[in-house]
Amino acid sequence: MPSSGSPAGSDRMFCRLVDEEDQLDHSPDVQLNAHPLTLLMTRGPVRYRIATICLTTMCGILLISIIAISAHYKGKAAGGAAAQDVDAMSATISKLQQEKAELQSELAARAAATGGGRHTGLADVEVKESGPKTVAPTMRVAPTPILCPMEWFLFNGSCYYISRVSRDWPESKSYCESKGAHLAIVITAEEQTFLWDQLPRGHWNAFWIGITDGHTEDKWIWVDGTPLITGFWEEGEPNNHIDEDCGYIVKTQVLERVAVRSWYDAPCDMYRRFICEKEMGGARSTALPH
């Protein structure tokens, strides 16, 4: 008996499969009772292609249906929102018209109560509805900064010059005037302290200022003719020891000396350094610069 793996056995098995397929194709029960897709899938490659086409067509129809339904409901939602917006706008317009009518009535009543006056009609209402008037901002012009000449110091609207050479009091006065200035007039303790801080220390560093009692003894006046009110004399000064008619500031190496007690009197023909002052505009102040 030949084995199942022999050529003769293989031929017989192939014939048997062919016979079964033919029986399946011609069996009335299969043709009548099988599902259409099952029937198509049992008929070889052609049946597979037909089944694939059918499934694809059904998927396309389903997708189109879903898109159409979504568009339908979306259109309904948009239409509803638009309708709501229209209703809200209509209500707002009606409210504004009502407020306008009430305002016109109130203005007319006020005009009648005051017995006339300026006409307050629709034009006034329209001005109110148009919003407040725009007022142009006021431009502030910044003050021009004060610039002192080279080697001059600024304090409280004045420029000060501390000389490096020595002259007598009249020559010092003339030099300051040639620069459009005058010998320093020191009014406040703040101004006195400022000048004192600018002076160098030394054995006896003395600087003329614009004060003298040359016209009347013990009646000290400034170079501009105003009388001395507050002075910053050292204790025991002025003493008019030897016809001392001009005043000066002194700053030494003695640290105990202070600015507000540093004035002395001396003969006007002595040679000393000096301090010029030039007003640059603005009132004097009693405050130190910041």
Range list of β-strands (E), the chain:
152-155, 158-162, 182-183, 205-212, 221-222, 246-251, 263-266, 273-279
Q: How far apart are CA 222 and CA 212, in angstroms?
A: 7
Interval 58-80 mean pLDDT? 71
Q: How far apart are CA 212 and CA 245, in angstroms?
A: 5
Judge whether 269 lies within some domain. yes
Q: Which of 4-18, 42-56, 81-95, 143-157 has the highest mean pLDDT?
A: 143-157
Tokens of 231: 């002075």
pLDDT tens, 150-185? 999 999 999 999 999 999 999 999 999 999 999 999
Neighbours of 179 (CB within 10 A): 13
CATH of residue 258? 3.10.100.10
By the 8 A CB rule, do 182 and 173 touch? yes
In a domain, residue 216? The reply is yes
Q: How far apart are CA 231 and CA 248, in angstroms?
A: 11
Residues in a beta bridge with 227: 221
Predicted pLDDT of residue 102? 82
DSSP label at residue 287:
S
User: How many other CB atoms are found less than 10 A from the CB of residue 234?
Assistant: 17
Tokens at 281, concatenated: 């505009």
Residue 188 three-state SS:
coil
3-state class of 209 per DSSP? strand
State how many domains the chain has.
1
Residue 235 located in a structural domain: yes
Write out the residue range of the structural domain in which residue 196 sits: 152-279
Residues 222-249 have pLDDT tens digits of 999 999 998 999 999 999 888 899 999 9
Q: Is 265 domain-assigned?
A: yes
Q: What percent of the chain has pLDDT over 70?
A: 65
What value, to the nearest 5°, has the Cα angle with vertex 60 and ends 54 and 64?
A: 150
Are 237 and 265 spatial neighbours (Cβ–Cβ below 8 Å)?
Answer: yes
Residue 69 lies inside a defined structural domain of this protein: no
**Is 273 among the domain residues?**
yes
Asked if residue 262 is part of any domain, the answer here is yes
In a domain, 267, yes or no: yes
- Quick: pLDDT tens for 178-226: 999 999 999 999 999 999 999 999 999 999 999 999 999 999 999 999 9
